[in-house]
Structure 1
Amino acid sequence: MTQKSGPNRRAVLLGLALAAPVVAAGCGGGHGKKSASKSSASTGPAPSDPGRDTTIMIIRHGEKPGSGDPGFDEAGKQDKKSLTKRGWERSQALPRLFAPNGTGAPVSSGSAPLPRPATIYAAADQGPDAGAHRMRQTVTPLAEVLHVPVNTEFAEGREKELAAAALAATAPVLICWEHSKIPPIVEALGASGAGGVPQKWPDRFDLVWVFTRRAGTWTFRSVPQHLLTGDA
């Protein structure tokens, strides 16, 4: 469930926490609570079905712990399944990319504008098949600005079911996932044949893969986020 506190209060709390240095980010549902909303059915058209027009965007979660750079949960406690300080900064910056000033107006990132997501998925981080919290943490500040629930119905390993749900969901769709499992999502969507799709996700956290299906044909573009210092 999305917290009722506004983005300004969340930003203040985050700034105070990072100065500690810990992170207190406004993520819907909080640690230990399920922020999912089963707003999209788990069934949908087969990926091979030309289906209706849609736009599906995929991002990798924000930066993860490694090489002495720890992760922090929403309470500022060190947690290897959570985002690092930079990962939280990316999470807080995502609304500038998809919803600048909270308006949901499109923004240009060196190519065609990115649309405002109407449906948001992140990998499950609660329950028997739960993975890391990073996917949910990455998109929750954006979801709160857009007033769109984060659907965490699908765990890693259920990419085919996720793809079917995304194809049936209200578009544009945004998926935040573990990078090594993104190619199976693309394949399950039936979009792997679109021109220019890499076989693997690059070793980067600052990209948006945009897949657009029109009249049964998929097109692909990779959009740099350009949100943080050091983004390519």
Structure 2
Amino acid sequence: MGGELARRSMLTLAGAAAAALSGCGSPPEQMRQASTTPLAPPPAADTDVLMFIRHAEDALSKGAPYGVAESGERDTRSLIVRGWMRAGALVELFDPRGPDGEQIATRPGILRPTTIFAHNPGDADSKRSFETASPLAASLKLPVDIRYTMKQTAQLSATLKGMHGPVLVAWRHEQIATIIAGLGVVTPPPPASWPENRYDMVFVLTRNGDGWTFRQVPQMLLAGDLLTPIG
């Protein structure tokens, strides 16, 4: 009984975060301005767009806060509580809804994804990318594509190059630069690495001929999130 209640409590953290944000209205003007850096136009709804997010917060050390599985038990492969909250808040970012539950326009620079990728948790890899993407996938009634393991970046890049429409990729931050490098020419060049302490940014690549145009969009979902682009 206690384990089931703990599991339900953990799963509702994501939903609670999304519900709380749904009544917050439009982002402040400074957020709207920051969402257009670097100087690239927002993608049109019918454009081929790849959106990359790092999985939500995890334990940065062996101490507290600890990763927590859906069961409510401590799990080193899972998100910490703040990570579960971000996973829920991402629903409001990528699939915002009005008071009656109808879909409304997304923030400038963000598109509602029609495909979602996360790496396969497997028996050894982290569950965090899948956990991060799952609340949004449930809201959109989409499956999370987990055909590739965390290190199968070349295969994922090859698949992404052939995708059309808006695609979201939730992955471990160490591999994101490698995935993007496998897509071809990207202008301006994206950061070569993702800082260990940043979970609050979306990398957006818009197809531009045979290459891609890169920009960053701040999430600004939880207290402490930054407008500053990753350099």
TM-score after normalising by structure 2:
0.73
Structure 1 equivalent of residue 11 of structure 2: 24
CA positional deviation for 1:195: 0.6
Q: Does 1:57 align with 2:51?
A: yes
Shift of 1:217: 3.1
Residues 98, 104 of structure 1: 8 Å contact kept: no
**5 Å matches for 1:75-86?**
75-86=71-82
Q: Does 2:106 align with 1:107?
A: yes
Number of positions where the alignment pairs a residue of Structure 1 with one of Structure 2: 184
- Tell me the equivalent position of 1:98: 94
Q: Which runs of 5 or more structure 1 residues have no equivalent in the other structure?
A: 1-12, 18-22, 28-52
Task: Structure 2: give runs of 5+ residues left out of the alignment.
Answer: 15-46, 227-231
Find the aligned partners of 1:170 and 1:103 in 2 and give their Cα distance. 25
Partner amino acid, structure 2, of 1:123: H
Alpha-carbon distance in structure 1 between the residues aligned to 2:49 and 2:175: 19
Report matched runs for 1:1-232 at 5 Å.
17=9, 23-25=10-12, 54-65=48-59, 66=61, 67-101=63-97, 103-108=102-107, 112-127=108-123, 130-191=124-185, 193-203=186-196, 204-232=198-226
Q: How large is the Cα RMSD of the aligned pairs? A: 2.2
Query: Structure 2 CA distance, aligned partners of 1:172 and 1:97?
Result: 14
Report the counterpart of residue 6 of structure 1 in structure 2. Answer: none
Answer whether contact 1:24 1:73 (CA < 8 A) is retained.
no
1:53-102 deviation digits (Å, cap 9, x = unpaired): 62101000000013411011111111000000000000011111001126
Report Cα offsets for 1:5-33 as digits up to 9, x if no partner: xxxxxxxx88972xxxxx23599xxxxxx
In 1, Cα distance between the equivalents of 2:119 and 2:162? 18
- The answer to whether the 8 Å contact 2:113/2:167 transfers is yes
TM-score by length of 1: 0.73
